[in-house]
Structure 1
Amino acid sequence: MSSVSNKDIALSIVQFLKQAVADKQVAEDYAESLDVAIDCIADAFEVNQDDESKVLGGKSLSQLIEAGLASKSSASATATASASTTTAASTEVDAETKAKADTLKVEGNRAMATKDFPTAIAKYTAAIELDGSNVVYLSNRAAAYSSSQQHEKAVVDAEKAIELNPSFSKAYSRLGLAKYALGDPKSAMDAYKRGLDVEGDNKSDAMTKGYETAKSRVEEELEKSISKSEPETPSESSSTGSSTGAGAGGLPDLSSFANMFGGAGGAGGMPPLSELMNNPDIMQAANRMMQDPQALSNLMSNPAVRQMAQNFGLGGGAGGAPDLSNLANMFGGGAGGAGSGSHEE
Structure 2
Amino acid sequence: MSELKHLAYAIIDFLREQTKSQAWTSDERESLEVAIQCLENVFKISSQDIDLAVSPPLMEIFSAAITKVDFTPSAQDVIRAEQLKNEGNNYIKEENYRAAVDSYTQAIELDPNSAVYFCNRAAAQSKLNNYTAAIEDCKRAIAIDPDYSKAYGRMGLALTSLNKHSEAITYYKKAVELDPENGTFKSNLRVAEQKIGEASSPTGAGLGFDLASLLNNPSFVSMAASLMQNPQLQQLMSGMMSNAISGPAAGVGGLTDMGSLIQAGQQFAQQMQEENPELIEQLRNQIRTRSFSGSNEDHS
Q: Taking structure 2 as the reference length, what is the TM-score of the superposition?
A: 0.45
Structure with greater Cα Rg:
1
> Relative contact order (C-alpha < 8 Å, sep 6+): which is higher?
2
